Structure 1
Amino acid sequence: MAANEDQEMELEALRSIYEGDECFKELGPSGFQYRVGDNGDPKAFLIEISWPETYPETAPNISMNAFFNNQISPAVKQSIVVKLREQVEANLGTAMTYTLFEYAKDSKEEFMENHLPFNNMLTLGNDGSLDPANLTSGKKRDKKEQLSKSQKRKLADKTDHKGELPRGWNWVDVIKVMLQNLRDVLPGSEKLAKTGSKEDE
């Protein structure tokens, strides 16, 4: 049972208000979840509220740590909790769980205006904070070109022991190019083609 008479009355009221509402879940006599938004909605989020023994004279505990919220950035979660706590201050001493859930529903667009889908599988830095080097824009990494065994063999034959191509492997034979250009430009320059080295013949 709830710890005090105010909590018992609020629990009964919550059960009757949210009866049949699939967004509402009672975690126990003093703990509740409410999903704001539909399943599959990228801006949907889940609020957990639990009552300490002295609630409603003291503030309820508000959490956004449910697995359902793992696509929401820590900054957005924190801002939602801060705004809900402002409502708690205004309603301290009264039954406020329904008020908080309804406020979250009415303010969903405002709460989620800075929301971008967030990958919670990022690695954390040594201090437990997010490492910005691991933040990705969701783009797939470019795949490396896969080479066949014969392509790898040919590449290995062309390279030295360090995996580098020999110096001058892509140099152009300057004499050949000049002769070709002369042949194209000068009439009767076919004889010039025979002045190359013996290798060329």
Structure 2
Amino acid sequence: MAANEDQEMELEALRSIYEGDECFKELSPVSFQYRIGENGDPKAFLIEISWPETYPQTAPNISMNAFFNNTISLAIKQSILDKLMEEVEVNLGTAMTYTLFEYAKDNKELFMENQPVHIVTSVGNNISIGTHEIVPSSKKRDKKEQLSKTQKRKLADKTDHKGELPRGWNWVDVIKHLSKTGSKDDE
């Protein structure tokens, strides 16, 4: 059972928000894990947050000691924890578990940019970890960045996640516009 009303309300909110989300795991009514990234993603990581009795007036305990994170360097783990603690300070006194998980999801690429990619292969019961400089998935990404003019036009016609066209889609080139209208006025 959660220690106070704030915790009970946050617990109910977390359960409803993450219902059916396979990345979220409730270890106890005051301890939660969230996997940032897909299964098999070499840059995925797991955050564990547990609430002390005085939470949210005091900071939650944040850990990256899960076995899932064994391939992540200590420096990267510490960097992620430092960034999360900055968010904790900003949100102290309010329910922040959801905010911390979402912050980590939004900043996953930034957090893991210096993490070497490990390929884990298992043969029977033996697991070997190898570091590779070039990963086939990164080659695919490079190709996507080089779009033709037609592809760029199609992309510009698409709307964003809110169903809105991108900023500036209907902007007018003021110089061309003025030179066209200006020549008509001179006649």
TM-score category of the 2 structures, normalised to the smaller one: 0.5 to 0.7
> Greater CA radius of gyration, 1 or 2?
1
Name 2:85's counterpart in structure 1: 85
Once residues 118 and 57 of structure 2 are traced to their aligned partners in structure 1, the CA distance between those partners, rounded to angstroms, is 36
Q: Which residue type is aligned with residue 54 of structure 2?
A: T
> What secondary structure is seen at the aligned counterpart in 2 of 1:52?
coil
TM-score, with structure 1 as normaliser: 0.59
| Aligned pairs, number | 123
Uncovered stretches (5+) of structure 2, i.e. residues with no partner: 120-128, 133-187
- The letter of the residue matching 2:68 is F
Structure-to-structure mapping, 1:47-58, within 5 angstroms = 47-58=47-58
Deviation of 1:113 (Å): 0.6
Residues 118 and 130 in structure 2, CA contact (< 8 A), matched pair in contact too: no
Counterpart residue type for residue 111 of structure 1 = F
CA RMSD of aligned residues (A): 1.8
Q: Which residue identity lines up with residue 45 of structure 1 in the other structure?
A: F
Partners of 1:70 and 1:118 within 8 A in 2? no
Residues in 2 aligned to 1:51 and 1:67: alpha-carbon distance in whole angstroms:
21
Residues 162-187 of structure 1: CA deviation (Å, up to 9, x unaligned): xxxxxxxxxxxxxxxxxxxxxxxxxx
Give the distance between the partners of 1:12 and 1:71, measured in 2 at CA.
33
Alignment of 1:5-16 (within 5 A): 5-16=5-16
Deviations 1:67-92 (A, max 9, x none): 00001000000000000000000000
2:98 paired residue number: 98
User: What are structure 1's unaligned runs of at least 5 residues?
Assistant: 120-135, 140-201
CA distance in 1 between counterparts of 2:95 and 2:118 reads 34
Partner residue, 1:40: 40
Give, in angstroms, the shift of residue 33 of structure 1: 0.1
Counterpart Cα distance in 1 of 2:45 and 2:113:
13
